[in-house]
């Protein structure tokens, strides 16, 4: 019997979206994207197609073009309510119309409505946007085309977004990327098959790459770009739009500045830093799923537990910490943050090892409110680490809360798995002056978390100012909001509007000033710039998007009564979308109204999808997220895994059929959602035996992992005085990490540094000094 999973037409035919074609142009750190969606109405009645799709939350959507037959319609930005009224009026009168709008809850979800598409007619819509490329831990620039759009979890459990399984996506994706780099392009890597990289210049600064033909858009498409010099400072000037009055953003020149400050600190300063660390961990049911393409099929929860173990072992003495876990409710390990000692670390580790993904939904707001309600500890700046794989429906409310407390903490975020909430992970880190990380495919979470820990432990740059030295008569005004903190080796991009700029080029310099631990520092960039006049206006639109997002935040905070009006004005002027505006296009050349009853079709996006059981949708106050072998019901904040047969035709079950949430535990299949777990990693076993002060005890469990007997290790010890056995065990453990796990150095570097700091401290004891000298050579090799 054929399943009804996946949304179909009334004739059980695929929905009318036929293909997605994407053209990407990369210029240094900026990507310009044009996505074309090809539709075909194969039914006998006119169709209104609804396509809800994910988008980079930092993207500036600036173009919406529709083609129906030979007619081309360039959509315009209007105030949202006016655009909706115009769209409704058009389709009610039988006209062909298009509407593109941003979600009210999250800036990374867009809804495209294609209205009154006549029977047998084809149509295409092109969405254009520009975004900055994120920098990865290995210095790659990351471009991501998100495909997965899971239902957003909110306490009210409302869902409007369908999805589709890999085999049910009725359209393919083609993607081509043209790359122009300021330095040579070393390579391009992807989680999807690519054609060979084709170069167009001898210095390898221009290249082209494409997805292999026939790609099914069933996962996020991720491309990593590696440049020979990815972090050289840059200043780019873009001319104003011809015909637009000077004095406005689009009429004046816009400059983009890119700095990559190097903040040098003492090698061991992180071991004496005082911080408060709070780890907020997602324990919702979906954390049981494996990472796609993950070797060994480890679950997101297992990987997160290992990462927390590594974090707890890497924390410096003198800091304070606490761990919160959340789902449909939240709990904390300690009532208040506690000092990091052997006792508190062991207590936390025991609880971490018992963590399971069994706490229901993804309600992140309540624990955040609890964390922020507690006063910060004196002289211990708060560092918040957030781990989640989920998606929420109250994104903007969460981001606003983080931003309101940015003066007292930093927020580091980790999106686990494909489909993690891009806007949430990015915007929480940006609003909290932290750093976002995404873990997908076969990537290891630990090195990325260790990079963020390094950021959190290092001193930051404050009192930031950008000063210009340019010819008189040119006024510089910031477009993007100011930067509050600088991290070591983290890129900073700012946009500025230059008024009264009539020269063909500008020579001068600009400098980035900041203070680190009361020491004034400066990064200077000299330039001779000729404004680019290619008509793309990419820098103007990126700057406009930054300003619009800042104004939207002020509206929600109630800080500025005129901010909404200014955001709408800037959106319309720049042609960049906002939460208060929408793109509207109407085919006014079609003089004859489309005849017949209008059918509405929801078009699936790649990833997980909903059950297509009409009975379930009409009767049950819930929704179902289908996978290959099971469904998840999220009624009343409960996550229960049901056999896949529930996804089949409702005729299999007698009516009225009770809500599956009321089934007893024996009637559910809770194990179906659990990934296969790998045996324990020896490296994590060794790290798990380390004490909070950085030392190891000479014991049987350590000897077993190192492949030795405890008595043999004790006999080989060059020192026989009391206390030296721990020094000897610590040296051996660190040497084993260097010899057997050198490729994972980024993960255990804090563990090893803490260990060597402890060993050096022991050399100050008279009874150990002589014995310590015998292992000096080994220590030098380790360090």
Helix axes 766-773, 724-740, angle to 10 degrees: 40
Name the least confident of 108-117, 227-236, 276-285: 108-117
Does the structural domain 17-231+574-599 have CATH classification 2.60.40? yes
Of the CATH numbers 3.40.50.1980, 3.20.20.10, 3.30.365.10, 3.40.50.410, which one belongs to the domain with range 269-457? Answer: 3.40.50.410
Longest distance between any two alpha carbons in the chain, whole Å:
99
Q: Where are the beta strands (DSSP E) in 670-709?
A: none
User: Residue 557: in which H helix or E strand, if any?
Assistant: helix 538-557
Q: Does residue 434 have a pLDDT over 60?
A: yes
Could you tell me how many residues make up the chain?
783
The DSSP code sequence of 128-183 is EEEEEPEEPTTS-EEEEE----PPPB-TT------EE-GGG--SEEEEEEEEE-SS
pLDDT above 90 (res 11): no
| Lowest-confidence region among 113-117, 151-155, 236-240 | 151-155
What's the chain's average pLDDT? 77
Mean pLDDT of 236-248: 86
Between 241 and 277, the higher pLDDT residue: 277
Q: Which of the residue ranges 151-165, 492-506, 760-774 would you say has the lowest mean pLDDT?
A: 151-165
- Residue with the bigger pLDDT between 638 and 539: it is 539
Q: How, if at all, do strands 215-216 and 172-180 pair?
A: antiparallel
Lowest mean pLDDT of 44-53, 166-175, 551-560, 752-761, name the range: 166-175
Q: Exposed, middle or buried by CB within 10 Å (0-12, 13-18, 19+), for 426?
A: buried
Among candidate residues 45, 209, 31, the one with its CA nearest the CA of residue 130? 31
What pLDDT band is residue 581 in, cutting at 50, 70 and 90?
Answer: very high
Per-residue pLDDT for 266 more than 70? Answer: no
Q: What is the pLDDT of residue 394?
A: 81
Task: Evaluate whether 98 touches 115 at the Cβ level (below 8 Å).
Answer: yes
pLDDT at 649 (0 to 100): 31
Dist CA 390 CA 385 (whole Å): 15
What's the CA gap between 487 and 452, in Å, rounded?
10
- How many contiguous H segments (helices) and E segments (strands) does the chain have? 17, 39
In this prediction, residues 532-541 reach a mean pLDDT of 82
Domain borders along the chain are: 17-231+574-599, 234-265+461-573, 269-457, 611-673, 682-782
Question: Do 313 and 751 touch, CB atoms closer than 8 A?
Answer: yes
Virtual torsion, Cα 298, 304, 310, 314, nearest 10 deg: 160
Q: Which of 21-30, 261-270, 340-349, 625-634 has the highest mean pLDDT?
A: 340-349
Indicate if the pLDDT at residue 624 is higher than 50: no
303-317, 412-426, 515-529: lowest mean pLDDT where? 412-426
Q: Which of 62, 60, 477, 469 is nearest to 247 (CA)?
A: 477
Phi-psi domain of 620 (left: phi exceeds 0; alpha: psi -120 through 50; beta: other): beta
Task: Write the DSSP string, 496-524.
Answer: EEEES--SS-EEEEEEEEEEETTEEEEEE
* 488: its two tokens: 């070591």
Q: CA–CA separation, 310 vs 379, rounded Å?
A: 25
The class of domain 234-265+461-573 in CATH terms is mainly beta
Name the one residue in this structure whose structure tokens are 């079709």: 601
pLDDT of 121 reads 77
Residue 363 has pLDDT above 60, yes or no: yes
pLDDT at 199 (0 to 100):
95
User: Each residue of 719-731: pLDDT tens digit?
Assistant: 665 557 888 888 8
Residue range 316-346, pLDDT digits in tens: 988 999 999 999 999 999 999 999 999 999 9
**Identical fold at 17-231+574-599 and 234-265+461-573?**
yes
> What confidence score (pLDDT) does residue 309 get?
94
Identify the pLDDT of residue 393.
Answer: 72
DSSP conformation letters of 361-409: S---HHHHHHHHHSPPPTT--EEEEEEE---BS-HHHHHHHHHHTTTTE
What is the per-residue pLDDT for 239? 87
Encode burial over 324-335: b for 16+ CB neighbours within 10 A, e otherwise: bbbbbebebbee
pLDDT at 160: 40
Query: pLDDT at position 490, please?
Result: 78
Confidence at residue 511, expressed as pLDDT on a 0 to 100 scale: 92
pTM for the complete prediction? 0.73
Round to whole Å and give the CA distance between 443 and 454.
19
């Amino acid at each position: 019997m054929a399943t009804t999973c996946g949304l179909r037409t009334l004739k059980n035919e695929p929905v009318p979206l036929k293909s997605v074609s994407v053209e990407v142009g990369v210029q240094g750190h900026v990507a310009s994207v044009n996505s074309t969606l090809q539709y075909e109405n194969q039914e006998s009645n006119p169709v209104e197609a609804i396509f809800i799709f994910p988008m980079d939350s930092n993207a500036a959507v600036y173009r919406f073009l529709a083609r129906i037959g030979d007619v081309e319609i360039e959509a315009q930005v209007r105030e949202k309510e006016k655009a909706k009224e115009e769209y409704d009026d058009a389709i009610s009168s039988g006209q062909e119309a298009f509407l593109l709008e941003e979600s009210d809850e999250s800036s990374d979800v867009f809804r495209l409505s294609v209205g009154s598409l006549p029977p047998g007619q084809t149509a295409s819509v092109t969405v254009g946007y520009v975004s900055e490329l994120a920098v990865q831990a290995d210095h790659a620039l990351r471009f991501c085309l998100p495909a997965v759009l899971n239902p957003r979890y909110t306490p009210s459990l409302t869902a409007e977004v369908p999805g589709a399984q890999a085999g049910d996506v009725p359209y393919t994706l083609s993607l081509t990327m043209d790359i122009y780099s300021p330095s040579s392009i070393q390579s391009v890597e992807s989680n999807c098959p690519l054609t060979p990289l084709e170069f167009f210049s001898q210095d390898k600064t221009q290249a082209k790459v494409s997805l292999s033909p026939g790609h099914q858009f069933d996962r996020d498409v991720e491309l990593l770009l590696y440049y020979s010099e990815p972090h050289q400072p840059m200043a780019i000037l873009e001319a104003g739009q011809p015909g637009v009055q000077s004095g406005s953003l689009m009429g004046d020149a816009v400059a983009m500045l890119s700095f990559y400050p190097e903040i040098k600190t003492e090698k061991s300063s992180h071991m004496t830093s005082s911080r408060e660390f709070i780890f907020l961990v997602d324990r919702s049911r979906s954390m049981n799923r494996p990472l796609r393409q993950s070797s060994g099929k480890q679950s997101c929860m297992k990987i997160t537990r290992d990462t927390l173990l590594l974090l707890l072992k890497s924390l410096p003495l003198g800091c304070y910490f606490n761990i919160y876990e959340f789902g449909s409710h939240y709990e904390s390990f300690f009532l208040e943050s506690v000092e990091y000692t052997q006792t508190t670390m062991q207590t936390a580790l025991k609880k971490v090892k018992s963590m399971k993904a069994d706490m229901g939904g993804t309600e992140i707001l309540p624990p955040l409110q609890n964390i922020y309600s507690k006063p910060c500890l004196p002289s211990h700046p708060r560092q918040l680490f957030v781990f989640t794989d989920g998606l929420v429906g109250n994104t903007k409310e969460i981001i606003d809360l983080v931003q309101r407390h940015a003066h007292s903490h930093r927020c580091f975020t980790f999106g686990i798995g494909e489909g993690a909430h891009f806007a949430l992970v990015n915007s929480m880190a940006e609003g909290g002056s932290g750093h976002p990380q995404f873990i997908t495919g076969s990537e290891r979470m630990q090195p990325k978390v260790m990079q963020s820990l390094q950021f959190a432990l290092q001193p930051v740059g404050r009192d930031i100012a950008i000063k210009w030295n340019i010819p008189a008569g040119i006024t510089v005004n910031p477009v993007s909001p100011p930067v509050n903190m600088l991290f070591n080796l983290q890129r900073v991009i700012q946009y500025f509007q230059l008024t009264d700029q009539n020269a063909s080029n500008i020579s001068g310099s600009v400098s980035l000033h900041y203070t680190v631990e009361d020491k004034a520092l400066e990064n200077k960039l000299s330039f001779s710039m000729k404004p680019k006049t290619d008509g793309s206006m990419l820098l103007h639109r990126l700057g406009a998007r930054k300003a619009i997002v800042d104004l939207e935040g002020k509206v929600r905070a109630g800080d500025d009564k005129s901010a909404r009006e200014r955001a709408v004005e800037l959106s319309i002027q720049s042609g960049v979308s906002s939460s208060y505006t929408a793109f509207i296009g109407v085919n006014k050349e079609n003089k004859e109204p489309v005849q017949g009853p209008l059918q509405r079709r929801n078009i699936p996006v790649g990833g997980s999808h909903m059950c297509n059981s009409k009975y379930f949708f009409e009767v049950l106050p819930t929704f179902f997220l289908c996978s290959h072998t099971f469904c998840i019901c999220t009624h009343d904040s409960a996550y229960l895994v049901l056999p896949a047969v529930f996804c089949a035709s409702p005729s299999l079950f007698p009516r009225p059929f009770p809500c599956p949430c009321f089934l007893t535990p024996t009637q559910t299949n809770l194990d179906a959602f659990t990934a296969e777990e790998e045996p324990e990693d020896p490296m994590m076993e060794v790290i798990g035996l380390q004490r909070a002060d950085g030392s190891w005890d000479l014991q049987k469990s350590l000897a077993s992992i190192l492949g030795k007997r405890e008595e043999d290790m004790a006999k080989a010890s060059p020192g026989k005085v009391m206390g030296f056995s721990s020094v000897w065990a610590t040296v051996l453990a660190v040497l084993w990490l260097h010899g057997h796990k050198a490729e994972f150095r980024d993960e255990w570097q804090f563990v090893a540094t803490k260990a060597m700091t402890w060993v050096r401290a022991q050399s100050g004891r008279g009874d150990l000094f002589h014995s310590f000298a015998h292992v000096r050579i080994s220590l030098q090799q380790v360090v």
